[in-house]
Amino acid sequence: MGCFEEVSQEGPQTNQHTDERSICLHAFSDLSHVPPATFIYLLKDCYAYGTNKATSKFKILLQLVKAALHNGPQPGPFTYAVQCMYIVPLLGKTYSEGFSHMLTSSLKHLKSVESVKKDFLEAKHLAAQLILDILDSVVPHENRILVKLLETFEIELRDMAYALYGSELDDDLVKAREHLRQYVKCFMESESNAIAVALITRFSIKCCDESFLIKLIESNQLDIAEECATFMGKEMISLVIQKYLDMQMLKSANKLVKEHDLTEEFPDVSYLYKESLVKKLAEKGCWDIAEIRAKKETKLMEYLVYLAMEAGYMEKVDELCQRYSLEGYFHSLVPEKVFCGSDYLDLKKLDVEEIVWVDETNGLLNATSCIEGFKIIGMDCEWRPNFEKNSKPSKVSIIQIASDKIAFIFDLIKLYEDNPKVLDSCFRRIMCSSNILKLGYDIQCDLHQLTQSYGQLECFQSYERLLDMQKLFKWVTGGLSGLSKEILGLGLNKTRRNSNWEQRPLSQKQKEYAALDAVVLVHIFHEHIRRQPQFGVSEGCKAEWKSHVVSVVNSARRPLRF
């Protein structure tokens, strides 16, 4: 029957300790005298005996089965595999689907082997009979395995006719198709739509209509809907495209238009998709990428100008107009109808008194002394975006620290170049102060960027009393802007998030954006405290946020919670 040996993912090994064993495998050196039932039993035994995780064991066994089917199974690997498929369900659900997938997957690479082509053709009839037995619930396989059998054995209508009636005459083909139609109707009624469409498309069974397609789309079974529509013809493909357009699924609509050459029928879809893509990029603050996407089409570039104006990002409007000579388009817009600045929170609404730019040593010392007098501060930092894949993030350019009334913006690049020791000393006084509660949003990300950028400084390795507002308000979606809208009633304009933070001087709008991200954290915290029941202001509220406060003595130690 063969021998057993211990095999890890790296290959066969011997004399290893039991705990290091990945899986115990049958060598399967010769299947010419191994019946399918024995093969499946050994397969199960190998799987059960292994100590590795299920996924690793499955991968190892899959490679083994691929090799084993080369080793003389009689009368051939395809017939042998079908015989195994009759036996696998006897193992129960734990093994049935996985082993069936393993067997069908192992056959794919054998189709090109000349010596087994005869066996493949003969096994098609046996596979067709197995499919009928599965459809009749005689052999209990999952629908996904049924689809794999149809694909692996390339089952055609004549194979099904032969399995049903023993011939492939035209009349028998008609009867076979009608016979299969009854199964399709049952699958559609039970909403087993994947197998229903697989049978419809493979055997050309006209059994679905417009309502079925719409049902598939509305239940988000888009791949199946597209497969079915492709089988039904251009009219149904057009129906799916229109449905996608109604649902604002422009990417899916554009893909179908291109695939089926329906540009004449849907001339605007390509532009609408590009427009939606530019808008999404602008909303994320990825203006440079949006500009690249819009570059070749004047209409799209005009739309980008409109989006920048709508967002109140006037320096970007000026930049685009000058670069692409769009001043005429800009002057045709009515600012009052475009600009909606009141929809966002700003520093004026929060009564912020001052933004202080800090880029030299005396200013750093004065700002540090001022900050040490605050009980609560908000913190954030910015760096120049880098849109190249697999490239290192840019160095953190600025860090913002604010109370509810004043914001300091520190030019980290210049301060580090001028006097790193003073910078380190000042920020240690802030970061390690037990008297200051430091608020951030997803602050671990910022701290990671700071240590990556300025790993030589100790000030970003340790900290006390740090509160991540994202964790405190983990049920709120939409980032800091979403949190601001939830607590303060207005969101933040994030259009400058991905601007160039290394340019000097920063524009006034950039400074205001940066300051607001830090200031708003303090206002959100105060509002959260204010909303607590008056008689408890207290202890209940304090206990709630205090449980999220973290301190780290140094970067090598785990956080301590208070």
User: What pLDDT is stored for residue 185 in this prediction?
Assistant: 93
Rounded to an integer, the average pLDDT of 349-364 is 96
Residue 134, judged by CB atoms within 10 A of its CB (0-12, 13-18, 19+), counts as: buried
Are the C-beta atoms of 501 and 382 separated by less than 8 Å? yes
The answer to whether residue 368 scores a pLDDT higher than 90 is yes
The answer to whether residue 327 scores a pLDDT higher than 50 is yes
CA 386 from chain centre, in angstroms, equals 20
- Judging by DSSP bridges, how do beta strands 406-411 and 437-440 pair with one another? unpaired
User: What pLDDT is stored for residue 30 in this prediction?
Assistant: 74
Rounded to an integer, the average pLDDT of 206-218 is 89
The answer to whether residue 171 scores a pLDDT higher than 90 is yes
User: What pLDDT is stored for residue 108 in this prediction?
Assistant: 85
* Rounded Cα distance, 153 and 107, in Å: 9
User: What pLDDT is stored for residue 285 in this prediction?
Assistant: 82
The per-residue DSSP string of 135-202 comes to HTTSS---HHHHHHHHHHTT--HHHHHHHHHS---HHHHHHHHHHHHHHHHHHHHTT-HHHHHHHHHH
| Banded pLDDT at 238 (limits 50, 70, 90) | very high
CB atoms within 10 A of CB 178: 10
The answer to whether residue 335 scores a pLDDT higher than 70 is no
Looking at per-residue confidence, does 496 or 222 come out higher?
222
| Banded pLDDT at 5 (limits 50, 70, 90) | very low
Are the C-beta atoms of 512 and 400 separated by less than 8 Å? no
Give the DSSP H/E element, type plus range, for residue 399: strand 396-402
The answer to whether residue 514 scores a pLDDT higher than 60 is yes
- Judging by DSSP bridges, how do beta strands 11-12 and 4-8 pair with one another? antiparallel
- Judging by DSSP bridges, how do beta strands 396-402 and 406-411 pair with one another? antiparallel
Closest of 351, 358, 447 to residue 405, by C-alpha: 351
| Banded pLDDT at 29 (limits 50, 70, 90) | low
Rounded to an integer, the average pLDDT of 327-349 is 73
- Judging by DSSP bridges, how do beta strands 437-440 and 376-383 pair with one another? parallel
* Cα-Cα-Cα-Cα dihedral sign, residues 501, 503, 506, 510: negative
* Rounded Cα distance, 235 and 210, in Å: 10
Looking at per-residue confidence, does 69 or 256 come out higher?
256
For the ranges 135-149, 332-346, 423-437, which has the lowest average pLDDT?
A: 332-346
Residue located via tokens 């024995």: 38
Coil vs helix vs strand at 4? strand
